[in-house]
Chain A
Amino acid sequence: MSAILRIEELVKRYRGVTALDGVSLEVQRGAITGLIGPNGSGKSTLFDCISGFQRQDAGRVWLHAAEAGVELTGRRPVGIVRAGVRRTFQQLRVFPALSVRDNLLASAQAAAGYSALAETLRFPGVRRHERAMLERAAQVLDEAGLAPSGDKPAVTLSYGQKKLLELGMALMTDPKVLLLDEPVAGVNPGLIEELKQQLVRMARRGVTLFIVEHNLKLVFDISDWIFVLDRGRLLTAGTPAAVSGDERVMEAYLG
């Protein structure tokens, strides 16, 4: 195993409140890595910094997808997505006015890197990429069980279906690392099982998953390795068995 994502001494302050206080960690290639911790421990801030939605005050982020690592520090979200790191949000987000299929296509089109003009004038390369993505979208729709709703506006989907769509959108471009911010929040138990299967399938296919989740049962079930954050610092890390036996983790959660 080797690290695919390396975070060094990340510091983020919001007007004097230190959200991240020198966090260093490594996410292993192809593994499912969990990130847990009480509310306000800095989990979402860490994701925001990795994905470029927030700029950290200090520290660096490296992606080791190929032989040579790429530094993600200071890149804008667009550049980080192109490098192969994608994220989802704590609050469910889809494009409500677009059809379910168009949600998937919109999620994949930027990866090809065509200009607005090329896309408007439908250059041959754009058409080719669009056709390839249409095939991919059909496959993703099938796997998520959303095929019958492909042409419906995304706003008409149920909450659970939107969660599945959100995962599908993230998968469209075959990301190297996927940051999932509470993938099962607000989902009923039946669907949690389905989403869990999806996550395990994704990991088997080689997508490295880094998951923030409050559903500890799920995290302990599927993770290969777990990091615990508390008040902006790394409290501990280890296998699910080791972390679940750690008294400090319980203490942090119970305050």
Chain B
Amino acid sequence: MSRRTALICAGSVVALGWPLLANSPYVLHLAVMAGLYVILVQSLNLVLGYSGLLSFASPAFFGLGAYVSSLLALRLGWDSAIGFPLAILAGIAAGVLIGFPSLRVSRHSFVIVTLSATLLLQLVALNWEDLTRGSLGLANIPAPRLFGVSVGTRLEWYAVSALAAAAAVLVTWAVVSSRFGRAMVAVRDNEQLALACGIDVFRTRLFAFALSAGMAAFAGALYAHFISYIDPGVFGFSITETLLIMVILGRSGTLWGPIAAAVVFTALPEVLRLTPEIRSLMYGLILLAIVLFGRKRLFP
């Protein structure tokens, strides 16, 4: 077993075991959120790291998934076993819809289109009051029922979040280690040469973007049911900001780096609560130090 594999295993055991041992609602809450961030970083890493596209549409898909699943549960009382897959499908559909025109134009235009898509969906959530209750948001989103079993306690949530994160890692691994993953990297590295090799650059990017959208929507759906309240704030750009920090500092285009970063950067701000007065300052300094000195980034 290589040092790297050992490190991944040890890291996973600590990350998964610590919340169980700590057995505090607060730590479990953080652990659930870390699981959601693990899904989200995979989503952004597929696009930014492996496809070389800067997307600001993460909040769009995250929010869309949150609203779709919540509305299905609140308005129709549907089981999450149907609601979650539908949220994912909605994300994929939105990804195709946004990607289809924007991936044909330049990469700069793509950035702008993804930015606009997020703003547009936020406006829809704000103004389609009959459906979304506008800025009042949706409250009392029920705990997800999966095949009749309700996920209520924090411990159960932790299990769901960990499983969902593991599934997202598995899907990402399956994609990036496949022939298609190689095509993604080829397109990222040299678009012209990829074309000359007969690789369909547009389809490769569209598939990656749609898959990434589905993942973000899944994280959004989980988030809505976990927090039990959402408003148009879920389309906020703070998610993108956090995710960019995690993916870039974890080293985009690698599988485990951004995952480790997701866990670390979910826990770090909370650990810094020990010094509440200078917490934000500490966080900023740590980020700065990593950017300046952490050439090897968080993960070897």
Using CB atoms and an 8 Å cutoff, list the residues of chain A in contact with chain B: 51, 53, 77-78, 81-82, 86-89, 93-98, 102, 105-111, 114, 116-117, 119-122, 126, 130, 169, 173
Which residues of chain B are within 8 angstroms of A106 by Cβ–Cβ distance? 182-183, 185-186, 194, 197, 199
A120:B196 contact, CB within 8 angstroms: no
Indicate if the CB atoms of A109 and B179 lie closer than 8 Å.
Answer: yes
Chain B interface, number of residues (Cβ within 8 angstroms):
26
A110 vs B187: C-alpha distance when bound (angstroms): 12
Complex-state Cα separation, A93 to B194, whole angstroms: 10
Are B180 and A95 closer than 8 Å at their CB atoms?
Answer: no
- Cβ A78 vs Cβ B198 within 8 A: yes
Residues of the A chain whose Cβ atoms lie less than 8 Å from the Cβ of B207: 116-117
* B200, CB-defined interface residue at 8 Å: yes
Residues of A with C-beta under 8 A to B204? 116
- One of B192, B197, B253 near A110 (C-beta < 8 A): B197
Collect the chain A residues with CB atoms within 8 Å of residue B189's CB.
95-98
Known A119-B180, A120-B174, A126-B179: A89·B198 in contact at CB below 8 Å: no
- CB under 8 Å from chain A, chain B span 164-185: 174-175, 178-183, 185
Tell me the complex Cα distance, A173–B197, Å: 9
Question: When the two chains form their complex, are residues B182 and A122 in contact, meaning their CB atoms are under 8 A apart?
Answer: no
Quick check: B179 and A81 within 8 Å, CB to CB?
Answer: no
Q: Given A53-B192, A120-B178: A110 and B185 within 8 A (CB)? A: no
Which residues of the other chain, B, contact A109 by a CB distance below 8 angstroms? 179, 182-183, 197, 199
**A53, A88, A116: residue with the most chain B Cβ atoms closer than 10 Å:** A116
A77 touches B182 (CB 8 A): no
B131 part of interface (Cβ distance < 8 Å): no
Q: A residues within 8 A CB of B175?
A: 120
Q: Do residues A77 and B183 form an inter-chain contact, with CB atoms below 8 A?
A: no
Chain B residue, CB-CB nearest to A81:
B198
Check A77–B198 contact: CB distance below 8 A: yes
Bound-state Cα–Cα, A94 to B203, Å: 21
Bound complex: CA of A105 vs CA of B182, how far in Å?
9
Q: Which residue of B lies closest to A155 (CB)?
A: B189
Q: Is B120 an interface residue (CB 8 A)?
A: no
Give CA–CA (A116, B175) in the complex, Å. Answer: 9
In chain B between 188 and 210, which residues have their CB closer than 8 angstroms to a CB of chain A?
Answer: 188-190, 192-200, 203-204, 207
Known: A93-B192, A95-B190. A107 touches B197 (CB 8 A): yes
Cβ distance B203 to chain A, nearest Cβ, rounded Å: 6
Contacts of B190 in A (CB 8 A): 93-96
Q: Which residue on chain B has the smallest CB distance to residue A86?
A: B196
Q: Given the complex of chains A and B, what is the CA–CA distance between A144 and B203 in angstroms?
A: 32
CB distance from B209 to the nearest CB of A (A): 11
State how many angstroms separate the Cβ of A93 from the closest Cβ of chain B. 4
Q: How far is the CA of A87 from the CA of B194 in the complex (A)?
A: 11
User: Nearest CB to that of B203 among chain A residues?
Assistant: A116
Interface centre among B189, B196, B200 (most CB of A within 10 A): B196
Given contacts A77-B198, A95-B185, A95-B186, is CB(A116)–CB(B192) below 8 Å? no
Task: Jot down 8 A-B pairs with beta carbons below 8 A, ordered by A.
Answer: A78-B195, A94-B190, A97-B188, A106-B186, A107-B197, A108-B197, A111-B198, A121-B178
**Contact residues of B with A, CB < 8 Å?**
174-175, 178-183, 185-186, 188-190, 192-200, 203-204, 207, 253
Task: Point out the residues of chain A lying under 8 angstroms from B174, CB to CB.
Answer: 120-121
For B181, the chain A residues whose CB sits under 8 A away are: 120
Nearest-Cβ distance from residue B186 to partner chain A, whole angstroms: 4
Chain B residue with Cβ nearest A87: B196
Task: List the A residue with the shortest CB-CB distance to B171.
Answer: A120
Bound CA–CA A81/B195 (angstroms): 9
Per the bound structure, the CA–CA distance linking A52 and B189 in Å amounts to 20
Most B CB atoms within 10 A — which of A87, A88, A107, A126?
A107
Instruction: Give which listed residue, A89, A98, A116, A126, contacts B185 with CB less than 8 A.
Output: A98
CA distance A95 to B204 in the complex (A): 16
A98 to B180, CA, bound (A): 13
Q: How far is the CB of B184 from chain A (nearest CB, A)?
A: 9
Judging by beta carbons under 8 Å apart, are A51 and B182 in contact?
no
Contact A110 B200 (CB under 8 A): yes
Bound-complex Cα distance A136 to B5 (A)? 31
Q: Tell whether, in the assembled complex, residue A81 and residue B182 are in contact, meaning their CB atoms are under 8 Å apart.
A: no
Chain B residues in 8 Å Cβ range of A122: 178-179
Give Cα distance in the complex from A111 to B179, angstroms.
Answer: 13
A82 to chain B, nearest CB (A): 6
* Contact partner, A97, options B179, B185, B195, Cβ 8 Å: B185
Are A81 and B197 in contact (CB-based, < 8 A)? yes
Smallest CB-CB A-B distances: 4 pairs: A81-B198, A110-B198, A119-B180, A116-B207
CB distance from A186 to the nearest CB of B (A): 17
* Minimum Cβ distance to chain A for residue B274 (Å): 40
Determine the chain A residues whose CB is within 8 A of the CB of B196 once the complex forms. Answer: 51, 53, 77, 81, 86-89, 93
Q: Give CA–CA (A105, B181) in the complex, Å.
A: 12
Besides the known contacts A98-B182, A109-B183, 11 further A-B residue pairs in the complex with CB atoms under 8 A apart = A53-B192, A53-B196, A77-B198, A97-B253, A106-B182, A110-B197, A111-B198, A119-B180, A120-B181, A126-B179, A173-B198
- CB-CB under 8 A from A108, the residues of chain B are 197
